[in-house]
Structure 1
Amino acid sequence: MPTSAPSSKPLQGFQYARDQFEELTDLALKHAKKLGAADAGAEVSEGAGLSVSVRKGELENVERNRDKSLGVTVYLGNKRGNASTSDFSVAAVRQTVQAAYDIARYTAEDPFASLPDEQDVADTWTDLDLFHPWAINSEEALQIALACEAAAFATSKKINNSEGAGVSAQQSHFFAAHMRGGQTGKPGIFSGGYASSRHSLSVAPIAGKGANMQRDHWYSSTRAPEELASPQAIGRYAAERTLARLNGRKIATTECPVLFESPLAAGLLGAYVQATSGGALYRKTTFLGQSLGKRVMARHLDIMDDPFIVGGKGSSPFDNEGVRTQRRKVLSAGKVQGYFLSTYSARKLGMRTTGNAGGSHNLTLTSRLTQPGDDLKGMLKKLGRGLFVTELMGQGVNYVTGDYSRGASGYWVENGEIVYPVQEITIAGNLKDMFQGIDAVGADAYNYGAKTVGSILVNRMKVAGS
């Protein structure tokens, strides 16, 4: 278990303390045992936050959110029942456990439904520095959002409108515990929790008029508020992105290399995770089924999944089931080294959990060919003649076949230089070919959510224009 003792006082910004959460889970598990369940799990969580948005120099919205939840899972042999409540009274907790128990009684048998195996359960871990509360009030948040939007307007007189700017300060904490064989608090029986935070600042300016109207956006998102980019920098960069899109053209339908800007490249990494996740694999709804040990990407590519980065957005000492996480290379030289599995999906596949219940952690895609000079300018040189994509629209990805088709906008590039913006186009291909056709990954690494990757150059895609 963690070395620090549970707090009897609520952390900053919360109403409940850690020991109160422990008492609630203990109450739930004891009642499950009283009803006749040998195995059960309970999780208690609380979230709180502030969001403020402005538009054209005026306050648009102030929202404070506070929520809490208790979830209970009861196992009766291989039958499982779930129930939840936002009422923390003793009577409500017992009613919730009773509801989960009744559901388990009447649900169908599932041979794979049970608690994680004892050898996989996390029992010790270190603090990953995930909690940095932001003691900001609505007036302070308002001034930051106004400054961000004002910086966008001040960049150029061509910035004449805005979809707004916003500040968000969010934090949460939870505690979860299992009961195995009627027992709790022993090795191999999970109990633990932690607090985390996520803060952001964003703006979306608009330039031009009529058919030539364009918008773009930029943002900063961190766990610690002092690490956010300045409102002035975000506003100015968002405005510059918007201005660069003015006078966009359509282009003739063609096939050409496509360079994905780094934030969009993270989406390709996300597609890989989806295609190699347990649920898609055991349902056989993925184009990368039975790919373990096979080369599915270009030989120069590696992917690392690291849950232990201090302060990382995807960091966690254990997954959603209390299974210990692990730092591992999931792709090496283009070959699949591991899937993303929960306990249930692993059992369905005849494998062992990878500690990814809830998804991937801090993912990084790298190329063994990347050089320090391969910044965006260098990647445009590698592109030579083709399309540089900076925005994607729609959800046109078929994970069963790998077919990929998205609305897009960006810039046409000749001789490694941007010559004009393009709009109203569609890019299409198949993810199998796209992954194998990644020629380069830029040194312009960008962290988008919990994924870090530079711009990605795909050697050939279909571009549908006029």
Structure 2
Amino acid sequence: MKEASYIVHSFDIKKQRASLEKIVSIVLDLVQKYCDGAQIIAMQSSGIMVKTNYGLIENIEFNKDVELLITLYKQKHTSFVLSTDLSLSAIKHVVQVALNILRYTSMDLYNGMVDRDLLAWNTYDLDLYHPTEIDIQSALHLAARAEQAALKLDPRIINTEGSIFNNRVSIKVIGNSYGMLQGYCTTWYSLSSGVIAKENSSMERGFSYTVARAIEDLQSPEYIGKKCASHALSRLSSKKLLTMKVPVVFAAEVAISLFRSLAVAISGEYVYRKCTFLLNAIGQQILPQWLSIEEHPHILKGIRSAPFDNEGVQTQQRDIVKDGILQSWLLSNYTARRLGLQSTGHAGDIYNWLIVGCNCEFDTMLKQMEKGFLITQLMGHGVNEMTGDYSRGASGFWVENGIIQYPVSGVTVAGNLKEMWKNIVSIGNDVEKRSSIQCGSIFLSEMKIGGD
């Protein structure tokens, strides 16, 4: 079909953004007489996902989504309504629904509009929008090349779980009763592949992916295919370990999870509800003195860059942890008011955490560990946000004399995050850049391994 010959990047982005801005303005005009404050978000995204299996088309999905989010405030009451219909009649209806809900919600003294001085009145161009028109056959060819590279690498690669090429272009506009009206556009590309390796009775999966704001910044399909095949092959004929306490290294791909747990523990909701093990930790040392975490929301082309959060608060560079000492909670407008503080611009997520102190070569780290467990995969949640207790299924490799000896699976790693963070010996310079947290491999002096 002619309509399906191109990925959905062909619409007029300026025209669509102007249309969303008009919708936001219409809603604000409709509600201004009936509430003390209003925040309106309009979003549109479109894209495509193509999947191959053994190089043949398995699935093609076209996506087009629109959302209108209306938040109203009146005398400490609030209402929140979401609509996926942006026609004028639907907008008028959903506005009336939001006003009706406002009459029946409970009063909450912490409800209300964001401090106007915190808003992003002037936004930065963060170079997040890189549209590309590419025909479907070319997209399928990218996915198929990754599969083919994996299947050709070794005869022990016996099956494929397919390859996926994905892209999305998005527009986000936010306006409020203060007169703020801002927006920005983004693009997102990804390519992933998975295969299965077999040797004797042992079978293992391997997976790899690449993401970027611009299609030319993706890793090549051949790189992704070979990497996922290598992962599967390296895990064949794995062994179990005895229960013991040993040094461990979290490979970069899984090391980021240790700091994701930190982001959860210092989020405003957990703090004001007093259900975090870091409840009174501001100003206290939680990481080694040589380790800092900086947030950089305005990195050009950044995977998690944004000019403002979901409440229109301007994002800004800040220290999360400085010289091992916790500097800040992660606060939205509501959670900040519950704590008697100001929003930190974290209504929604975190923005490009850079782990400062990643300076150790990976091979050097293994030599420092000498004997222990290299963790390359984690399973399950296994983190108690109230106590910091940590227990997760793991697989990886046993290391002796600083050299990888054999693959390991079917074990658990356990500890407490407070102690684990303080036991960080070094962090590698093999920084994982596909995540909102950019961190290298992490060497911990000791953890408990649960095995046979």
TM class, shorter-length: over 0.9
Residue from 426, 429, 447 that aligns with 1:443: 429
- Cα deviation, 1:311-346, whole Å, max 9, x if unaligned, reads 101111111111111101110111001111111111
For each residue in 1:406-456, what CA deviation from the matched residue of structure 2 results, as whole angstroms up to 9, or x when unmatched? 111000000100000001111111111111111110111111321100100
Q: Of residues 70, 94, 97 in structure 2, which corresponds to 1:96? A: 94
Q: Pairwise mapping of residues 143-222 of structure 1 onto structure 2 (< 5 A)? A: 143-180=141-178, 184=179, 190-208=180-198, 211-222=201-212
Q: CA deviation at 1:14?
A: 5.9
Query: Partners in 1 of 2:87 and 2:153 — Cα distance?
Result: 54
Structure 1 spans left out of the alignment, 5+ residues? 1-9, 185-189
Alpha-carbon contact 2:37-2:113 (below 8 Å) kept? yes
- Equivalent in the alignment of 1:345: 335
1:124 and 1:133 map into 2 onto residues whose CA distance is 24
Does the aligned pair in 2 maintain the 1:50–1:138 contact within 8 Å?
Answer: no
Aligned residues: 444
What are the within-5 Å matches in structure 2 for residues 17-56 of structure 1?
17-34=16-33, 36-56=34-54
Per-residue deviation at 1:91?
1.5
Partner of 1:458: 444
Shift of residue 134, structure 1, vs aligned partner = 2.8
DSSP-derived class of the 1:111 partner? coil
Cα separation, partners in 2 of 1:418 and 1:345, compared to 1, 3 Å: same
Matched AA of 1:29: L
Aligned residue number for residue 420 of structure 1: 406
Q: Secondary structure of the residue that 1:448 maps to in structure 2?
A: coil
TM-score (norm 2): 0.95
Distance 1:252 1:359 in 2: 39
TM-score by length of 1: 0.93
> Equivalents in 1 of 2:130, 2:236: separation in Å?
39
Aligned equivalents of 2:106, 2:122: Cα separation in 1 = 35
Closer, same or farther: CA 112–11 of 1 in aligned 2, 3 Å: farther
Q: 2:235 & 2:244 partners in 1: Cα distance?
A: 21
Partner-residue secondary structure (3-state), 2:47: strand
Distance 1:107 1:435 in 2: 42
Percent identity reads 36
1:341-394, Cα deviation, whole Å (9 max, x unpaired) = 111111111111111111210001122xx54xx222122112210000000011
Distance 1:11 1:161, change over 3 A: closer
**Could you tell me how far 1:211 is from its partner in structure 2?**
4.1
Aligned residue in 1 for 2:252: 262
Equivalent-residue separation in structure 2 for 1:291 and 1:306 (angstroms): 22
Q: Which of these residues, 74, 85, 88, is aligned with residue 87 of structure 1?
A: 85
Q: Which residue of 1 aligns with 2:130?
A: 132
Cα offset for 1:401? 0.8
Moved over 6 A (4+): none
1:65 alignment counterpart: 63
Distance 1:42 1:242 in 2: 47
Q: What are the residue-to-residue correspondences of 1:290-439 with 2, within 5 Å?
A: 290-367=280-357, 370-371=358-359, 374-439=360-425
CA–CA distance in 1 between the matches of 2:48 and 2:169? 9
Could you tell me how far apart the structure 2 residues matched to 1:122 and 1:426 are?
A: 45
What secondary structure is seen at the aligned counterpart in 2 of 1:132? coil
Query: C-alpha root-mean-square deviation of aligned residues, in Å?
Result: 1.5
Distance 2:37 2:350 in 1: 27
